[in-house]
Structure 1
Amino acid sequence: MGNSTQPTGNSTIIPTNSRDYYSCAGPDVKDYPPKGEWLSFNALWGINSPTIVKNNKDSAYADFIKQGIQDVSRASKVDARLILSIIMQESGGNAQVECTGYDYKRDCGIMQMRGAANFSSSEPEKSIREMIEDSVYGVSEPGDLSWIKGTFWQGNPFAAAHLYNAGSVEENLTVQVGENLNSKWYANDIASRLLGWNGSKQGCENSRKCPNHGFENRQCQG
């Protein structure tokens, strides 16, 4: 696609133009790329770390995020690449991202999980780790997905990502759930990030070429 290099099995090769590397997967759960096709964590970090540093204006925060991802991944058995991709999708790696929503239905933290910890400037490393932990393990706020534990992520990661975003899941991951427009392409965005897309506008433009995915009205980001 474009002048990108096709990665093969846990590749450390970064696509030449990561903006172009958008995957038109689906629509069924089984159609999404298996883990052997995902880039390695180091390759994905190389693609995304410039954005993380830029969004935080402090390279130390990027180091805390990287370490937090790896620590929580080891403890939870959730793939570090998946955690990183959802962080980039939800906040662009901005540790100080504001909560969204209202009243008790507020999505907070670097992964925008309902009821998750928020950033603390007095304890940046600790709070960043807590944000990641809360989003992977779940929290106990009213109306949240508190049943999410490590096992939640052990099935199909794209169904899990869709459920994380939309609150429900179907075999077809390109169907809009309720009023959540993002639910139509969330799983594809995560798949694309795992293959090397950096979340830029060009990837979004390429998604419009995907047949039968209903992405014609995709709102570009970046």
Structure 2
Amino acid sequence: MTTKPGRYYSGSSNYSPLVGNTAAFYSNNELEQYDDHARKAYGVPTAAGEHPLNTYSQDRQGDLTYDNLTSLKGPLPQRPRKSGWSRRRKCVVFGGVALLLVIIIAVVAGVVVSLQHKGTSKPFSFTLSNAQVTNDTSFALGGATRNSPTNINDGIGTGTDAYTYYQGVAANFPDASKWVSFTDLWTANQESFKKSCKQNKHGPNNSDKMIQEIYDAIQNRSSASLVDHRFILAIILQESGGCPRAGTTTSSGGVTNPGLMQSHDGHEYNAAHSADSILAMIQDGTQGTANGDGLVQNMNMYGSPYSAARGYNSGYIPTSGNLSEAAGATACYVSDVANRLTGWVWAENKCTGGSG
């Protein structure tokens, strides 16, 4: 009879192979050791040169079967279990750890996105103004116009890049007929729009999109207010160099002056609402705020654009009528604005009263 490797048979066709927690799951070496032990303990003879697992004799006493093996004293030998975790336990544990890591990453990512959103979603709102210039003198002297702002080729062209120190009363300043066209004033000062923010340490420079938003806002508020778009542009260049991020100053009386036109308690730049905040800043400077006057109110009060500029910068005009007096603000302010309107860009500033 041929014995199957690693399996225990009694040798007789009348006997069944060991099953269950039995010799069927033991190595030949383990069974040999157990068989020898059992035969010695219970007096079962073993033929010389033969092993009871591999031979069978009908008349031999003590052939082992599943029944008489299990009748022996003591339990059958147990196969030692392997140490360590089962595959199922590993899957459960490591799967749980992986799931926990995914949850933690998702929560952290959610917090980061929330903080980023919080930093860029500051609420912003404003109401469009309908304030307009109504003083006929302003239309006669310049600064106000009923012409469409779409006419960007108004004026004398490029003018001259030179600086003349203007001082005294409004009549000493250049007539509006000497102003350059809007398109030439805009084009000549593109370098300022592109670089003034960093140069003045106000943060990142304007993007092309922001520059276009400034252009559109000037045209929009010029049409609504009847203030000449060239006058609005010259004030923007004087106040901030065309940088929406220009720092906010605060007066001793608590008045804040933010943004493009350093308006009276006006709006600041909001990156999450760039176009709207730029429009709001230009509206504040052009048409005024709830707390302070803009160009419209000053032109309605004084008539002359240069007097309006002095009033915008200082809050009033000195009793002498001398627009070169600082009047608590910047002495060269009106002279600088007049020169910008006539083509000054890079030439040396010859004002002796202090520019700003």
Scaled to the shorter chain, the TM-score interval is 0.7 to 0.9
The yes-or-no answer on 1:122 pairing with 2:272 is yes
Output the CA distance in 2 between the equivalents of 1:122 and 1:69: 20
Judge conservation of contact 1:25–1:32 (CA < 8 Å) in 2.
Answer: yes
Q: Deviations over 1:65-119 (max 9, x none)?
A: 1111111111100011111111011101001112111684110121001211111
How high is the TM-score relative to the length of structure 2?
A: 0.50
Say whether residues 1:47 and 2:188 are aligned partners: yes
- The answer to whether structure 1 residue 150 and structure 2 residue 296 are counterparts is yes
Give the conservation status (yes or no) of the 8 Å contact 1:100–1:107: yes
- Matching residue of 2:158: 13
Counterpart in the other structure of 1:5? none
Label 1:130 to 1:77 Cα distance change in 2 as closer, same or farther (>3 A). same
What is the aligned-residue RMSD (CA, Å)?
2.1
Structure 2 residue 348 is matched with structure 1 residue 203: yes
Q: How do 1:5-84 and structure 2 match up within 5 A?
A: 10-15=155-160, 18=161, 21-55=162-196, 56-84=205-233
Structure 1: distance between partners of 2:235 and 2:266: 14
Pairing partner for 1:93 from 242, 247, 257: 242
Name the count of aligned residue pairs. Answer: 190
* 1:144-180 deviation per Cα after TM superposition (whole angstroms, max 9, x unaligned): 33xx4635335100000001001111421112313x3
Determine if the alignment matches structure 1 residue 189 to structure 2 residue 336: yes
Residue 284 of structure 2 is matched in structure 1 by 134
The 2-side partners of 1:57 and 1:172 are apart by: 36
CA distance in 2, matches of 1:152, 1:172: 16
After superposition, residues 170-185 of structure 1 pair within 5 angstroms as: 170=318, 171-178=321-328, 180=329, 182=330, 184-185=331-332
Please tell me the residue identity of whatever aligns with 1:203.
Answer: E
* CA distance, structure 2, for counterparts of residue 60 and residue 196 of structure 1: 25
Matched residues in 2 for 1:86 and 1:61: separation? 18
Please give the alpha-carbon distance, in whole angstroms, between the structure 2 residues aligned to 1:97 and 1:90: 9
Q: Distance in 1 between matches of 2:310 and 2:290?
A: 20
Stretches of structure 1 that go unaligned for 5 or more consecutive residues are 1-8, 208-214
- Partners of 1:11 and 1:29 lie apart in 2 by 21
Moved over 3 A (4+): none
Distance 2:235 2:213 in 1: 16
Q: Which has the higher contact order (CA 8 A, sep 6+)?
A: 1
Q: State the structure with more CA Rg.
A: 2
Match of 1:159 in 2: 307
Change (3 A) 1:83 1:12: same
Shift of 1:54: 2.0
In percent, how many aligned pairs have the same letter?
29
User: If the length of structure 1 is used for normalisation, what is the TM-score?
Assistant: 0.78
Question: SS in structure 1 opposite 2:269?
Answer: coil
Are residues 149 and 194 of structure 1, via their aligned partners in 2, closer, same or farther at CA, if it must alter by over 3 Å? closer
Gapped regions of structure 2 (runs ≥ 5): 1-153, 197-204
Distance (Å, rounded) in 1 between the aligned partners of 2:297 and 2:354: 32
Contact 1:23–1:195 (CA under 8 A) maintained in structure 2: no
Q: Distance in 1 between matches of 2:216 and 2:159?
A: 21
- Measure the CA separation in 2 of the matches of 1:82 and 1:149: 9
CA–CA separation in structure 2 for the residues paired with 1:115 and 1:176: 21
